[in-house]
Structure 1
Amino acid sequence: MSGNKIVTADGRAYRLLGVSRSSGEFACVQGKGLWDSGPVDQASVDAMKTWNIHAVRIPLNEECWLGVNGTPSGATYQQGVKDYVNLLVANGINVILDLHWTWGAYTNGPDWHCTDEHATCQKPVPDARYAPQFWTSVANAFKGNDAVVFDLFNEPYPEIGSDWNKTLGWQCLRDGGTCTGIPYEVAGMQDLVDAVRATGATNVLMVSGLEWTNDMREWLAYKPNDPLTNIAASWHAYSFNACANESCWDSQIAPLAEQVPVVLSEFGQDTCGFDYMQRLVTWADTHDLGYLAWTWNPWGCTGGAVLIKDWTGTPEPGLGDGYKAHLLTQSPSL
């Protein structure tokens, strides 16, 4: 990193532009293998390249990586991830590894919330039991390969445990420990930064905000300390989020982007159109943000956020067509 830009080895400012490729977070705990029957071969990467994709975000499952739960898990799961990462990097594509599903029984939440202690759903905040171990292991696996970026936790919302007290939420997110309303010991972002750096890994780190990382207002005030000063802000902005218009982006995100790199690591809209997404990527381009749309999976676009109709990269009408057309006009180099 240099100032508010991610840069290449030769010092050129660079944006991470691409997609998320879901399934590594859920398939191993749902009896669907590692990649939910989707291909991770050269042909599938070639399909991504026809969209001008230069970065792929891969959500992971903490317990499957560590061999605690799931099938495959442990060494088999790790090798599958390594093989896919190596293939993408060999094709000139950056990889963002994202800690998506984690351990921790959260039983105090609303009815919609999953209470399973295992990593079978999205939890409010990472756990001290396994998350530092996960990042120690991942960092050891990929240190020396700076084409790989580490997104330390997908979508925190620890403030849910304190009746949406944002100050307590930010403190919990950074410092971890015992957090109001969270029944398990929390690993803060500082703990996870420390775990990665203790391995000697120099990879760029991405750190999220509150409210499913849509609220970035106090990100700078609670930024964890990194001895390498190599942290970017990870922001999500769906059409149904609170911060989902230009006025909010101008007031809350633009000032942050003047200080540190901001990566829009997930975005989409809750229809299969592209109108909201077009506004967002146009704004992001103006402010030199990288962005990765959700998701490169052919699940059928009924509620939005599905980009492709098949693994050959046929775009879904509306948002898929629109995003592909937009990516083809963009270069990651600034």
Structure 2
Amino acid sequence: MRRWRRPLAAVALVCALAVAPAAVAAPPAPHVSGNALVDARTGTPFVPRGVNWPSFEYACLYGYGYSNARSRTSVGPDDADAANIARWQVNTVRIPLNQDCWLGDDGLPRSDSSTHRTARGYRRAVRAWVERLHHHGLAVILDLHWSGPDGVPAEGQRAMADERSVAFWASVASRFRTDPAVMFDVFNEPYSRWNGDAPAFDLTWGCWSGGGCRAPTANDTSPLNRRTYTVAGMQALVDAIRGAGARQPILLAGRNYANDLTGWLANRPADDQLVASLHSYPGQGCDAPACWDAEVAPVAAQVPVVATEIGDDGCRAGHVARFIDWADRHGVGYLAWEWVLPDGRYSCHGGTAYSLIADTRGTPRPPVGTTVALDLGRLAFSAPTAWLAAR
């Protein structure tokens, strides 16, 4: 575990004031080669490291926009925020999306009294944000975060993809198939569901891969009902992307909220551009170095592994520090959750407790934001907090 001592961190912060931001380069073009990602432009290794930029998954549901917008208390998908993210020395940004808002299903995206919103407008807003991030040299991972089977609004996380998820990925891949700086994270967090102490839905590795089982329509924060839908497996989602002509890397999250990769290798779809996606938060089943050595390292020995979400609540950073230390030593990428400001209801748990930034300028919020920013800067061989130079 890396322990950042306050005096050393303070020196790094002071030195950063004299460092100008590096010239903006074209975004990388990730490509799977063996158990690593490489930049297809240069053939050099590419390890995705960066942040998650949420709100495209929920703003369009709640009816206040396609995503968050810049204000005194919020960041928005504009050039200023893309520049602030880039100053952290990240190379990748993950954008969670809403299935219904993209497809125009189930009454989404929602309009309000002043603005009529459409699926076409949502897709344009997503593309515009992707292009702004590219302009600042950043690769992008598009993530299917909130979904819902036909007739059920995408108002949260489902256990696994559905038939409309196949249509979603065919559409997304068609629009980004010529963009080599985009990767596809096909389903955020596959999970099994319990009803008290009894299993209500067991997502087996076979269904994870091939689909066909029946999952609850209720999202993971709603009470179970008797309604179910037919799961679309990872192979169907991969086929939809490839059928649209997109050849970029595809990320597949493991079971148990993307924390279990034990059956990933044996059940992965047939494709040579697959990346294993892991999520790591304190309290999950595999949340310590011994487990990462036993369960994640063997996967990373055969295919690239990216922790597309890592986090700690806002009052501690021990788990994040341990994970990034392990990941850096094993060539595993990571994307911290989440690039939002803490709101007025901020506490150590719930709400925006995982916020990485303290203000709209992208100032790292201690302790998690500063832990991540220091590591990103160290890995980039530049001052850990070059974001300060532009303030």
Q: Which amino acid aligns with 1:31?
A: G
- Structure with higher Rg: it is 2
Q: 1:195 to 1:314 in 2, by over 3 A?
A: same
Q: Which residue of 2 aligns with 1:98?
A: 143
Q: How many aligned positions are there?
A: 318
- State the alpha-carbon separation in 1 of the partners of residues 263 and 46 from structure 2: 25
Q: Which residue of 1 aligns with 2:96?
A: 59
Unaligned runs of 5+ residues in structure 2 are 1-31, 70-74, 111-116, 218-227, 382-391
Q: Which amino acid aligns with 2:91?
A: H
2:250 to 205, 218, 225: 205
- State the alpha-carbon separation in 2 of the partners of residues 310 and 159 from structure 1: 37
- State the alpha-carbon separation in 2 of the partners of residues 35 and 181 from structure 1: 28
Confirm or deny that 1:313 pairs with 2:362: yes
- State the alpha-carbon separation in 2 of the partners of residues 238 and 60 from structure 1: 21
TM-fit CA distance, 1:104: 3.1
Alignment TM-score, normalising by the size of structure 1 = 0.90
- State the alpha-carbon separation in 2 of the partners of residues 246 and 306 from structure 1: 24
Q: Which residue of 1 aligns with 2:311?
A: 268
Q: Which residue of 2 aligns with 1:2?
A: 33
Q: Which residue of 1 aligns with 2:180?
A: 146
Query: What is the SS of the residue equivalent to 1:197?
Result: helix
Q: Which residue of 1 aligns with 2:213?
A: 178
Q: Which amino acid aligns with 1:254?
A: A
Q: 1:78 to 1:181 in 2, by over 3 A?
A: closer
Q: 1:211 to 1:57 in 2, by over 3 A?
A: same
Q: Which residue of 1 aligns with 2:20?
A: none
Q: Give the stretch that moved more between structures: 6-15 or 56-65.
A: 6-15
- State the alpha-carbon separation in 2 of the partners of residues 176 and 120 from structure 1: 22
Query: What is the SS of the residue equivalent to 2:183?
Result: strand
Q: Which amino acid aligns with 1:99?
A: L
Q: Which residue of 2 aligns with 1:157?
A: 191
Query: What is the SS of the residue equivalent to 1:221?
Result: helix
- State the alpha-carbon separation in 1 of the partners of residues 183 and 361 from structure 2: 26
TM-fit CA distance, 1:126: 0.8
* 1:245-284 equivalences in 2 (<5 Å): 245-284=288-327
TM-fit CA distance, 1:181: 6.0
**Percentage of identical aligned residues:** 39
Q: Which amino acid aligns with 1:208?
A: A
RMSD across aligned C-alpha pairs, in angstroms? 1.9
1:296 to 328, 339, 364: 339
Query: What is the SS of the residue equivalent to 1:56?
Result: strand
- State the alpha-carbon separation in 2 of the partners of residues 65 and 160 from structure 1: 30
- State the alpha-carbon separation in 1 of the partners of residues 315 and 64 from structure 2: 26
Q: Which residue of 1 aligns with 2:287?
A: 244
Q: Which residue of 1 aligns with 2:43?
A: 11
Confirm or deny that 1:218 pairs with 2:263: yes
Alignment TM-score, normalising by the size of structure 2 = 0.78
The answer to whether the Cα contact below 8 Å between 2:216 and 2:229 also exists between their aligned partners in 1 is no
- State the alpha-carbon separation in 1 of the partners of residues 44 and 138 from structure 2: 16
Q: 1:21 to 1:242 in 2, by over 3 A?
A: same
TM-fit CA distance, 1:149: 0.4
TM-fit CA distance, 1:298: 0.5
Describe the superposition over 1:77-121 as per-residue Cα deviations: whole angstroms up to 9, x where unpaired. 00000011011112210000000000139xxxxxxxxxx921001
